[in-house]
Amino acid sequence: MIRTRFAPSPTGYLHIGGVRTALFNWLFARKHGGKFLLRIDDTDAQRNVNEALAPILHGFRWLGLDWDEGPEVGGPFGPYYQSQRMDVYRSAAEKLLAAGFAYRDFATTEEIQAEREAAEREKRQFTYSRRWMAETEADCKRFESEGRAAVVRLKMPREGTLAIDDLIRSRVDFDWAREQDHVIQRADGTCLYHLASVVDDHDFQISHVIRAEEHLSNTPRQVFIAQGLGYPLPQYAHLPYVAEPGSRNKLSKRKLDKYLKNPDFAKLNEHGQKIAAAIGLAASAETFNPVIVDFYEQVGYLSDAVINYLLLLGWSLDDKTEDFTREEMIAAFSLDRVNKAPASFDPAKLASFQERAMQRMPAKQKVAFVLPYLQRAGIVSSPPPCDIGPKLLALVEAAGDRVKIGGDILEYADFIAPADALDYDDKAVQKRIVKPPEAVELLTKFREHLAKVEPFDAATLDRALHAFVESEGIAIGQIVHATRVAVTGKGVGFGLFETLALLGRERCLGRIDQTLRKVRAS
């Protein structure tokens, strides 16, 4: 049976590149009727953050990448946390020692560094001399008597080559002489990632190790460990990494300042930060930026749009097909269509997937999608009032393609908010109401005109305004712009008649009154 895994470390939020790797593992398993496992690689106690695991698991649920075995699901090979399997790894380390594939080394950090610096001075490749290797119990006692503590190192071959058949990169050759004697167990007895990963892949019966290409260089030591323990090798597939916007450098959570020089990335980040502020979300650069998956859920991207875009970062079906359902993704996916070259993360391209997904969403479903943003911003109560459904439906239909992500509804919150909650654009007020000498008088007259319009719908309001313009002998712009600012606080927006109808008579009259008081008091 096909069994794949994704193994995040709980050291921070879920990275876009990591999710792409998880997606390819998930698709491959689903395509072949196999199992997708989630394993938590938490051997690095100093870097692990307990609070980081919950957002990682939540991110997978939001994206719809369900796992068949792992945390909160269980399975026949648990536990699925490496920190809970240390005894298994120690046993494996002892087997490698007994078989001569590893040794106890008593060198200090300073002694290893001195050998490394000597190699640099002599302009030769560093290869550890194994001077402090303990080959017998007597050696161990002698070194221990000197106050030394031992780590366990792999006793890597010093000649020959390793060849692996990678499912994406074909044959890859490694020179054993270039490999170091890597540490697999610390002096305190805890075991490191490379040993733990190989043991887990074997114990969990992983058939395919599909991972980012940065792990390609780890493959020789992991193959050596597996062979030393007598394990059959899984099949390897090393994916191209996700690159920075407009670059071939790897996308990183730590280079936000650099990415903000990209206009599309900067626009996306600025828009997200604005939404975060409106809904009261603490949004630091470390925990909230477009390199992190949580960013997209919080600002209102659809998980299907994000997944669809990530699918095409390094994979393609042909030169024209872009939009896939989950079922179509599973049916079409294969590793032989994965590219070797890195794929650049393009915020504008992701936005286009999101816009198309929103356009396909039925209006009533869109209402349910955007409502939480109004609630989190304190504009709509929770639970919402009974009449909010029809009002919000009318607003969503009027906004149409303007609401590109869920948080965009906050741009039109004034249509839902009470009159006294109006947020004014002071420049628009000055330009359209304060400076024109006739604006206040015309607005006062038109307010009385609106009070009598019946029914209060767009078509009737259209006729009423034109009748008012004709009776006053003015240009239509003299009242249209002032009215818009008075009822919305802004100088731009939907068509005026549509806007007035959406707000309703009482809210329009109340806002005009409020605006006139504001202007007269200034």
Continuous H helices in 282-340: 293-299, 303-311, 326-332
Phi-psi region of 316 (alpha: psi -120 to 50; beta: other; left: phi over 0): beta
| 31 among known catalytic residues | no
Taking the C-alpha atoms of residue 321 and residue 315, their distance in angstroms, rounded to an integer, is 11
409: closest CA among 365, 361, 384, 377? 377
**Are 307 and 63 a contacting pair, CB within 8 Å?**
yes
Catalytic-role residue among 95, 141, 155, 253: 253
The phi and psi torsions of 460 (rounded to 5 degrees) equal: -70, -40
Burial class (CB in 10 A: 0-12, 13-18, 19+), 407: buried
Q: How far is CA 403 from the centre of its chain?
A: 21
Length of the chain: 522
Do 374 and 410 meet the contact criterion of CB atoms below 8 Å apart? yes
What do you get for the CA distance between the two ends of the chain, in Å?
76
Q: Provide DSSP, 39-96.
A: -B----TTT--HHHHHHHHHHHHHHT---SBBTTTB-TT---BGGG-HHHHHHHHHHH
Q: How much of the chain is helix, strand and coil, in % rounded to 5?
A: 50, 10, 35
Cα–Cα distance for residue pair 64/306, rounded to 1 Å: 11
State how far the Cα of 478 lies from the Cα of 469, in Å rounded to an integer: 9
Which residues, in sequence order, are bridge partners of residue 4? Answer: 36
Catalytic positions are 253
